[in-house]
Amino acid sequence: MRRLQLAAVALAVPGVVLGAVAAQQAFREYPSVEYGRNIPLPPDWQRPGEWTFARLMFPPGPLDGYRGRFDGPWQEGLSLWTQDYPRADRALANAVRRLTRVDARSVEQSVNPDDGDDIYNWPWLYAVQVGEWGLTEKQAQKLRDYLLRGGFFMADDCHGTEEQAYFEKTMKMVFPDRELVDIPNDDPIFHTVFNLDNRYQIPGAEHLATGHKKDGYVAHWKGIYDDKGRIMVAFSLNSDIGDSWEFLDDPRYPAKYSVLGTEIGVNYVVYAMTH
């Protein structure tokens, strides 16, 4: 009998593993550092869409600002990657629905790069506080693979020289041979839906008074291009676009930031779906 049980386990385990590799992960919610589990699901959360706001889950790095407060397993939420989550995600999804013809899913998808091949199901990926992240070598390889296959990665909420240096260092793990360069104004990414020649720094809600965080005084719009001149990684340095989505309907947060942030988000989404 025991042998039979062992045989059953031996057959079942590879089956489960293969299933996990092949199948797309279902919607899942994690507690966030700002909201716990208190954000209600929209009524149509089960309706699938063409585009989904996919949020990259990652381990915290040496510059993690939440160290000492949220030190649990990052795979279970309540970690750095859940900053603005899920409110910002759903706000952008809603904006994409309203402003474009993209069939957007109302709820986000949290994507763990260590979950087999799941990351490849979500060709648009967003990560917050990327200057504080702790991307592993294995995750960097996965991200490189993802981007070269055609995925798009929006890296946001990175402020000051120290975070910038750390992010650039980790991105060298992803692309040792490619540089983060300033995206010129005439790049299509700033013109897919809205013409965004006039961009300005978007501070986070906590930094409205100063207009910047740490020594990140000037906003930069950087990117990593592929061999055909297409942006694979869009990096908003010294801006917190996630906050501009998160506080879209908060009267305390200036509308001009939300407007620009939303337009940038929409442009990035449509760019990712056209280039």
Partner 1 sequence: MFELLFKYPGPVFSRGHFVLLSAWPAWLLALLITIATVGLAVLTYRQIADAAPKLRNWRVWVLWAMQSAFVALVLLLLWQPAMMVAALTSQQNIIAVVVDSSKSMAIADENGKTREAAALDVLQSGVLGGIQKRFQTRLYRLGGDLTKIEGLGEVQPTDGATNINGGLKKLAEDTADLPVGAVLLLSDGSQNMAEAGGSGIALETLRALGNRRLPVHTIGFGRTEIAHDVEMEGVSVAPSAVVNSRMQAAISFVQHGYAGQTAKIAVRDGDKTIAAREVKLAPNGAMQTEKMFFSAGEAGARSLQFAIEPMAGEENANNNAMTRPVLVSDAKRRILYIEGEPRWEFKFIRRAEDDDPTIQLVSMLRTSENKIYRQGIKDPSELADGFPSRAEDLFGYAGIIVGSVDADYFTPLQRELLREYADRRGGGVLFLGGHTSLSDGGWGASSVSEMFPTFLPAGRNTFHRNAATVELTPEGVDSAIARLLDDPVKNAERWKKLTYLADYQDAGSPKPGAVVLAEMNVGKRKLPLLITQRYGHGRTAILATGGTWRWQMSEPLGDRSHDLFWQQLLRWLVADSPGPVTASASAHTLMDDGNIRLSASVRDAQFQPAVNAHVTAHMMGPGGVDALIDLQLSQDVAGEYSAAWTAEKPGGYLAEVVAQDTGGQKQELGRDTLAFRREDGVAEQFHTEQNRELLQQLSAQTGGRYWKPEDVKDLPQNISYSEAGVAVRTTNELWNMPAVFLLLLGLLVAEWMLRRRWGIV
Residue ranges that bind partner 1, judged by CB under 8 A: 22-24, 48-51, 99-103, 117, 120-121, 123, 145-146, 148-151, 192-193, 228, 269-270, 272-275
Residue 193 DSSP SS3:
coil
Q: Which is nearer to partner 1, 103 or 137 (CB)?
A: 103
Q: Which is nearer to partner 1, 49 or 254 (CB)?
A: 49
Kindly state the smallest distance separating residue 32's Cβ from partner 1, in Å. 27
Residue 84 CB neighbour total at 10 angstroms: 29
Q: How far is CA 51 from CA 74, 85, 107, 113, 209, in A?
A: 25, 18, 10, 19, 35
Check: CB of residue 236 under 8 Å from CB of residue 167. no
Kindly state the smallest distance separating residue 64's Cβ from partner 1, in Å. 30
- Whole-angstrom Cα distance, residue 72 to residue 204? 25
Tell me the residue type at 96: V
Give the angle subtended at the CA of 193 by the CAs of 89 and 271, to the nearest 5°: 65
34: Cα within 13 Å, side-chain hemisphere: 16
C-alpha of 35 from chain center: 18
Q: Which is nearer to partner 1, 50 or 76 (CB)?
A: 50
Q: Which is nearer to partner 1, 48 or 72 (CB)?
A: 48
Kindly state the smallest distance separating residue 241's Cβ from partner 1, in Å. 19
The stretches of the chain forming alpha helices (DSSP H) are: 2-22, 87-99, 137-149, 160-174, 241-246, 255-272
Kindly state the smallest distance separating residue 275's Cβ from partner 1, in Å. 7
Q: Which is nearer to partner 1, 73 or 229 (CB)?
A: 229
Q: Which is nearer to partner 1, 92 or 237 (CB)?
A: 92
Kindly state the smallest distance separating residue 229's Cβ from partner 1, in Å. 10
Kindly state the smallest distance separating residue 49's Cβ from partner 1, in Å. 8
* Phi/psi of residue 111, nearest 5 degrees: -120, 120
Question: Which structure tokens are listed for 157?
Answer: 């909420």
